[in-house]
Structure 1
Amino acid sequence: MLEAKNKLGVIFFPAFDWAIEPTHPEREERLLYTQDQLSEEGIFDIEGITEYKPEVATRRDVERVHFCLPSVETVATKSHMISAGGAIRAGRLIMEKEADRAFALVRPPGHHAMKIVEGNRGFCNINIEAVMIEWIRENYGQKRVAIVDTDCHHGDGTQDIYWHDRNTLFISLHQDGRTLYPGSGFPDELGGPNALGKTLNVPLPPRTADEGFLYVIDELVLPILDDFKPDIIINSAGQDNHFTDPITNMNFSAQGYAHLNERLKPDIAVLEGGYAIQGALPYVNLGICLAMAGVDYSKVSEPEYHPEKLRQDVRSMDSIKRICDDVRDRYFNPPSTPRDGDVTGQWFTRMKDVFYDTDGIRESQIESAVICPDCSGTVKTEVWSTSNPLSLCVDIPLDACDKCVGLGRRAIEEGHTKGSYRIVQAINRRDKEYTQFGF
């Protein structure tokens, strides 16, 4: 009888009652075929691999991460709350040492959901990894967290949430944004004024295959993780880099995904994209589970896998090596100021425009962050959109110094008394205060 070297907890939630449309790529079949495959392969007969049920995230769990406009209830369905709860269950398994590794095979996904949420973009409403991370931090204290996003699409939502967080390292490996949604994720996107170099983007050329992805892991990601020394490593495990995925242009394989997880050794993996529902996901998920558990995965192979047809050309590999050199230098030698924005006194201000491609909402933001040598800095954002009038969102980070707490509280009070905002919402993670005022 096989035995896992690492105790692995697997959390399933197919979300039977949620889909953008019945035939949309993001639908329940994404996980049903995987569930059948894992059962047929007898993965839960391996000693040390156990299936767990998801929890249900609470409104507070979402409100410590997101500014939901006008409310959590208008943004998230019960399926979104259970998907986020599945990620929380994975976090709980690790923090309570019930498992050595955990894989949340849940949907809907979340890595395109930004700090401010007004609807669905990129199939995402709630950033389930961020909900899990901040649940861990609220219950177990400040942790240094590294998120390695291996979805084919740039994890722009996760990047936005942790843009100013010096205790979170976000690394995204994705197809070059000049060729794929959401059109972002370039090496000069490095984080806010207090966290420069803690956001790293690795845009890869179309048709990147196993060789290219594993080179990035070995030569860039692992050395940076060794330097950052995270307490927790999370794989934002999108699977749409697969060579059969219908909406992307990469050549990664099930064996490649398994090798990646064996080398990365994530404490937690959380499913993101992946839309080759029958030809890829069941095999990729099986390979990831076996790799995380420390069980032989060498026999895992998807249909139509012919490695000789998926090899990269020399020019692509040369490009990948140059990108890695560039990103490595930006991490170890970050610039003194961000690439965009203006400094006024102690505030760094930038303007952002966000489009919700699924719901058709256009949103504008003026974001101001305190430049602070002692913490990640309070951030206040004025936001308005085609869906909601002018609102104010104030974020006081978990590691906030007394000065930044004071500036945050003053911004909340001024916003509350000024009367020009439809909603004033505050996230104060240091003092565990999550409030909203409507006018």
Structure 2
Amino acid sequence: MKKARKTGLIFFPAFDWAISPTHPEREERLLYTQDQVFEEGLLDLENIIEYKPSIASYSDINRVHFCVPDARAVTTESHLIAAGGAITAAEKVMNKEVDNAFALVRPPGHHAMLVVHGARGFCNVNMEAIMIEYIRHHYGHRRIAVVDTDCHHGDGTQDIYWNDPDTLCISIHQDGRTLYPGSGFHEEFGGPNALGTTLNIPLPPRTSDEGFLHVLDKAILPILSEFKPDLIINSAGQDNHFSDPITDMRFSAQGYAILNDRLSPDIAVLEGGYSIEKALPYVNVGIILAMAGLDYSHVREPEYDPSRFRQSEEISSQVAQEAEEIYELWSRRNELRERMIGDAKYMKRRKGVYYDTDGISEQQETIVRICSDCGGVVMVNSRSDLGNHIFAVTIPWNACRECRREGESAYDKAQKKDGYQHIYLQDKDRDLYLVK
């Protein structure tokens, strides 16, 4: 047993929010976990403390997203409370009331991108990003690392921080060629001013504890050591579990506990995980015990037999290669940035986004100013097949004079007569959000 740590827990099962009564993303996801936590007597321990979630404001959401037409239109009260639960976890850590905290909240959020026309991958707004920007606004700017352990690529968090050199986004997930959202490969490496702070580690189906922990030890932990974040956040998806009905991995409750023990996140925020009875109660208890510095060696889920979930030599070889390649990419990030940028003044990126939950298609063009002094002003032109056409500008944290001038000018010059229904300005340093 290690030295006990004080751990905060925030529960929000969202009783009134479900995509459908039988959908995997429903309130039972957390009810079984709550029962298990009570049954094991975890809340009777002095170093595990439960807190009630606060309610996030629309201003908290606007620090992160451009919601079309506005934040009220794409959220419910449950989304505000789930985001508020993540904020509460952050406050308890930042105010040093606890050593770390776990926000066991739903709905999930890691597929929600910078621009939000609707819901995708069960996600409307991004809980981790709302929490991160809340921390920066209320406690000062921080270098932050997000390690996303959900089985699905954390494409929303990646998109939000694509151009932020002070936010390291590492996603470890089932290979996107075999699973939604079909992304999360090595070439997705970050924007021109933040190259290398987006890192994706796609793993082959049927990877087990051995593979996940190999990548953690050989790639993720060394990279974190070099990045030197002020805070580590685990975007704690649990659908890598061997019993999950919508994925094909072989992770166990013990594996999740060991991962969190070694990663030692300051804050964990629940994401996916849809084996409601067979996995989530045990995985969550294992994570809580690991974060609290308590013995988790006896945590076992039903049907767990380590001999059934050993990965093949072929998978072990692929995983080892993934770890080696992603660390090499990270090590060459400065060289690759120089090669990418050359003498360019701007970098343009086009992509299509499908909001599978709501059936909306978006076409988006993003332009970022190449800058050696800050993350660069970002300008987004987005159009959905519902007819919404927007222009949005983000002035980054610690913006240099030229990026600030250009961002303010771009917002001032954009007019509705140009065909936009909405024009937005998001100013990180001044905590300003304007719409015309």
Give the TM-score normalised by structure 1. Answer: 0.97
Which residue in 2 is equivalent to 1:254? 253
Distance 1:195 1:3 in 2: 37
Number of aligned positions between the proteins: 435
- Give deviations 1:104-156, integer Å, cap 9, x for gaps: 00000000000000111000001000000000000111100000000000000
2:369 is equivalent to residue 370 of structure 1: yes
Residue type matched to 2:140 in 1?
Answer: G
Query: Cα distance, 1:322 vs. partner?
Result: 0.7
Query: Cα distance, 1:94 vs. partner?
Result: 0.7
Distance 1:167 1:195 in 2: 8
Which residue in 1 is equivalent to 2:281? 282
Query: Cα distance, 1:22 vs. partner?
Result: 0.8
Query: Cα distance, 1:176 vs. partner?
Result: 0.2
Residue type matched to 1:152 in 2?
Answer: C
Distance 1:15 1:339 in 2: 48
Distance 1:417 1:343 in 2: 35
Which residue in 1 is equivalent to 2:147? 148
Query: Cα distance, 1:402 vs. partner?
Result: 1.1
Describe the shift of the 1:193–1:292 C-alpha distance in structure 2 as closer, same or farther (beyond 3 A): same
Alignment of 1:303-382 (within 5 A): 303-334=302-333, 336-337=336-337, 346-382=345-381
Query: Cα distance, 1:195 vs. partner?
Result: 0.4
Describe the shift of the 1:310–1:37 C-alpha distance in structure 2 as closer, same or farther (beyond 3 A): same
Distance 1:234 1:420 in 2: 40
Contact 1:190 1:338 in 2 (8 A): no
Query: Cα distance, 1:58 vs. partner?
Result: 0.2
Which residue in 1 is equivalent to 2:414? 415
Q: Secondary structure at the match of 1:362?
A: strand
Residue type matched to 1:271 in 2?
Answer: L
Which residue in 2 is equivalent to 1:89? 88
Q: Secondary structure at the match of 2:47?
A: strand
2:193 is equivalent to residue 186 of structure 1: no
Which residue in 2 is equivalent to 1:28? 27
Query: Cα distance, 1:416 vs. partner?
Result: 3.5
Query: Cα distance, 1:258 vs. partner?
Result: 0.2
Identity %: 58
Describe the shift of the 1:417–1:179 C-alpha distance in structure 2 as closer, same or farther (beyond 3 A): closer
Distance 1:117 1:31 in 2: 26
Alignment of 1:58-73 (within 5 A): 58-73=57-72
Distance 2:14 2:396 in 1: 32
Which residue in 1 is equivalent to 2:199? 200
Long gaps (5+) in structure 2: none
Alignment of 1:44-83 (within 5 A): 44-83=43-82
Residue type matched to 2:231 in 1?
Answer: I
Contact 1:112 1:156 in 2 (8 A): yes
Long gaps (5+) in structure 1: none
Residue type matched to 1:98 in 2?
Answer: E
Distance 2:414 2:365 in 1: 14
Contact 1:363 1:383 in 2 (8 A): yes
Query: Cα distance, 1:418 vs. partner?
Result: 5.2
Which residue in 1 is equivalent to 2:402? 403
Q: Secondary structure at the match of 1:5?
A: coil
Contact 2:237 2:273 in 1 (8 A): yes
- Give deviations 1:252-281, integer Å, cap 9, x for gaps: 000000000000000000000000000000
Which residue in 2 is equivalent to 1:111? 110
Distance 1:374 1:344 in 2: 16
Residue type matched to 1:400 in 2?
Answer: A
Q: Secondary structure at the match of 1:336?
A: helix
Which residue in 2 is equivalent to 1:239? 238
Q: Secondary structure at the match of 1:365?
A: strand
Describe the shift of the 1:418–1:399 C-alpha distance in structure 2 as closer, same or farther (beyond 3 A): farther
- Give deviations 1:10-35, integer Å, cap 9, x for gaps: 00000001111110000000000000
2:410 is equivalent to residue 435 of structure 1: no
Give the TM-score normalised by structure 2. Answer: 0.97
Distance 2:418 2:159 in 1: 28
Query: Cα distance, 1:420 vs. partner?
Result: 2.6
Contact 2:218 2:324 in 1 (8 A): no
Distance 1:388 1:44 in 2: 50
Distance 1:399 1:205 in 2: 39
Residue type matched to 2:214 in 1?
Answer: Y
2:36 is equivalent to residue 37 of structure 1: yes
Instruction: Give the stretch that moved more between structures: 408-417 or 273-282.
Output: 408-417
Distance 1:10 1:351 in 2: 40
Query: Cα distance, 1:301 vs. partner?
Result: 0.3
Contact 1:145 1:234 in 2 (8 A): yes
Residue type matched to 2:336 in 1?
Answer: S
What is the root-mean-square deviation in Å for CA atoms of aligned residues?
1.6
Distance 1:424 1:297 in 2: 51
